[in-house]
Chain A
Amino acid sequence: MRQRAIWSAVLVVGLALAGCGSASDSGKSTSSDGKLVVWDWKSGEPFAKSYLDKAKADFKKKHADVEVEFVAQPFDQYYTLLGAAIQSGKGPDVMMFNGGGQIRDRVDALVPITDYVAEDKQRLAGWEAFTKDSKVYGSPVTLQGYPIYYNKDIYQKAGLDPASPATTWDKFVADCAAVAKAGSKCFALGNKEGVGIQFWLSSMGSVTLTAAEYDAWITGKRDWTSPNVKRVFETWKETGDKKMNTDGANSTAMFNDSFAAFQSGKAAHVMGLMSDVGHWKAFNEFLTPEKLGVMKPPVVTAGTTPSLPYDGGIGYAVAKWTKDPKVAADLVRSLTSADALKAFYADAGAIAADTTIDVSQAGPAASTIVSELKSGKPALHVALSSKTIDLMGRLSQQLLSGSITVDEVVKQLAASDQAG
């Protein structure tokens, strides 16, 4: 027995000393000639058909001899499957990514496509979320932003003016009290996945941080000791303490339970999205376009100017192991061509990365969002690493349950952020 233990120890120490291997074997090429494989989580959806048809037709014009195969993966497994593909160095030639941390964490497996997509630079918005160290790794298909939607019906019932929602935090809290009196909650919140705080941080960022702090945050110079940064988390805690959120937020899924709560009139506001889920088009189906409002975040720190936080939402990138990056990049360009994106907007309801698309028929909410794109800024949470975002999600749940202080939250986030 003792001898067995010694041998086991020798084996472990040997492995520890010799420990070598690689998460990715990126030298291999797997795409066969004449075929490109695309991984995403949208192509299986009925609404994507017209979008894909348009993209494929555009690509066919450039490369008639190249076949394109779309493989739709389940979104909740997507990055796990992609991770396995990246480790083996074998996988799709073109792949869909969420902008921000998800693509930036994986740029080692991607080809910079800066030069290939130079012509699209002006036409499309949201590049920042697909850029790392000044190199572009993906082209945006949609824009992802975090507008605050509100239910004009509930405002009316609460005796508030639906045409002029609160512009300061104090007035907003007072309005929420009126909403509560009328029998509704102020916010529809589902924070089971810990995602709610990301929306909160980005929505409230422009009205809590000064313009200089905001810009510094995006460029990576984040001052976690700033009282304004702390204030963002204080307002989040305040919504819990003052029971402004729908009940059981920590056990309610954001997708789609909290959005359903807003649609069904249980809450007056929701921090929603502008891509193809939890957005104006989905809400319109239940509230009707006339009842759905989009408001600017109420000013928390005097002197700040509210702006719409948004980035590139989803986009396509080219794998390092693809045989001909130029052809793969051409496919990415087709997937972000004007006609294809127009179809994506029309069928999925997402605000597409091509901001020249006319949305005037979509109702006042969509028009308001698009009109705010020009003055919009990148979302604060997108600048954080996946690890810090994950930690922030858990800490946000603790803030709601009251088991942690705001000081401790910013301290832990600072440590995680500085560790990279």
Chain B
Amino acid sequence: MPIGNTQPSVRLASAGRAGGPAVTSPAHRGGARPRGGLGAERYAPYILVAPAVLIIVLLRLYPLILGVNFSFTGDGDQNGEAVGFGNYQELFGDQLFRTALRNVGLLVLLLPVAVAIPGLLATFIYLRVPGHRFYRSVYFFPAVLSPVIVGAIFNLLLAFDGPLNAVLGSFGVGAVDWLGDPDIAMFMVVGVHIWATFGMALVVFLAGFATLDAALLDAARVDGASLRQVVWHVIVPSLARTIQFVFVTTMIGMLTSMFGLLFVMTSGGPEGSTYLPEYYIWIQQGQMNRPALASAASTILFVIMLVVGLLQIKLLDRSGKED
């Protein structure tokens, strides 16, 4: 659009500043340049943007639409036939999928814990507790481990006849089936996920602390604030934007990165209690040979992620305005 219109004002301004005799009237400029050149300039941005747009449309939007379209077709004998919202109806009638969605709700509820742990640990590191340098690397270490390795390690630790129950037994506490009890298993998987991933959030928090004004902390201390008061009244408000960012990225991580752990630790069990939409999609597509139903579940997961993404934009936008 108005590239031709904006140019004159820039040139006029610079000419004014220079105070020279340069002739900058639009009429003259127009006469000096060939018409074709102006047209090329007008279309240049579109041409430059075109490859990116094409890639986005062909490799992102088109497959997405294909996937959504596929979710409205049938599986098995109905392969390729339009079934309207049939797959979606089946999904919401499937107890297993409802469990998967409920578990998404549980993740949202556990989110504050997943954010509070790296937040508190980062605070202690920032406040230079003894050995803080050592802790910083130790806390980050699990973040570089593959979920498969983490899952395998915790499978051994949490086995019914594993070391954790052995330790509990030495205190006279009865053995707990950590991964075999449907009331406990999901909390164990989420706990291990938090353990394995909070290192990244910790780094983000430490980066946030780097921008914290140390004078505020000093002032609070001079005023006699306790540690709890310093954390609550100085650190938390100052890191509001960082906390919001960690909230959203942790949520996305929980929704999309737990597959490996689930697969290794519980395989969705016991009794289907640790299903998440992602695992459900994999089972329907790979094991049950129901690709269209899996597409419908993928579409629902996409919508959930979209809502989380939009919330992220809104939250960051709002905190930006507050700044």
A-side interface residues toward B, CB under 8 Å? Answer: 12, 15-24, 77, 79-80, 83, 87, 105-106, 108, 192-194, 247-252, 386-387, 390, 393-394, 397-398, 401, 403
Contact = CB atoms under 8 A, between A and B. Distances in A.
B289 interface: yes
- Of A17, A193, A247, A398, chain B has the most CB atoms within 10 Å of the CB of A247
A79 to B, nearest CB: 5
A349 to B, nearest CB: 27
Given A22-B79, A193-B267, A401-B182, A250 B285 contact: no
B181 A401 contact: yes
Given A106-B289, A247-B175, 15 more contacts: A17-B84, A20-B80, A20-B81, A21-B69, A21-B80, A79-B286, A80-B285, A247-B160, A248-B160, A251-B158, A386-B287, A386-B288, A393-B269, A394-B272, A401-B180
A19 B68 CA distance: 9
A390 B80 contact: no
Interface in B34-69: 65-66, 68-69
Interface stretch (B4-12, B70-78, B193-201, B212-220): B70-78
A16 B71 CA distance: 8
B286 A83 contact: yes
Q: What 9 A-B pairs are tightest by C-beta distance, nearest first?
A: A248-B160, A19-B72, A80-B286, A251-B180, A22-B80, A250-B180, A251-B179, A19-B82, A250-B270
B69 A251 contact: no
Contacts of A106: 289
A252 B158 CA distance: 11
B69 A398 contact: no
A269 to B, nearest CB: 19
A19 B82 CA distance: 5
B287 A19 contact: no
B271 interface: yes
19 contacts: A15-B68, A15-B72, A17-B82, A19-B71, A24-B79, A79-B286, A247-B175, A248-B161, A250-B177, A250-B269, A251-B159, A251-B266, A251-B270, A252-B159, A252-B180, A394-B96, A397-B182, A397-B270, A401-B180
Contacts of B81: 20
Contact of A16 (B72, B161, B271, B292): B72
Contacts of A17: 82, 84
Given A16-B84, A17-B82, A23-B75, A397 B271 contact: yes
B181 to A, nearest CB: 7
A16 B288 contact: no
A259 B282 CA distance: 27
B144 to A, nearest CB: 24
A23 B286 contact: no
Q: Which secondary structure dominates chain A's binding surface? A: helix
A248 B80 contact: no
B69 A20 contact: yes
B97 interface: no
A194 B269 CA distance: 8
A193 B286 CA distance: 15
A250 B181 CA distance: 8
A19 B79 contact: no
B139 interface: no
A83 B291 CA distance: 8
B209 interface: no
A251 B178 contact: yes
Given A12-B68, A80-B282, A401 B271 contact: yes
Given A20-B80, A193-B267, A247 B161 contact: yes
A18 to B, nearest CB: 7
B160 A83 contact: no
B66 A21 contact: yes
Contacts of B80: 20-23
A251 B84 contact: no
B159 to A, nearest CB: 7
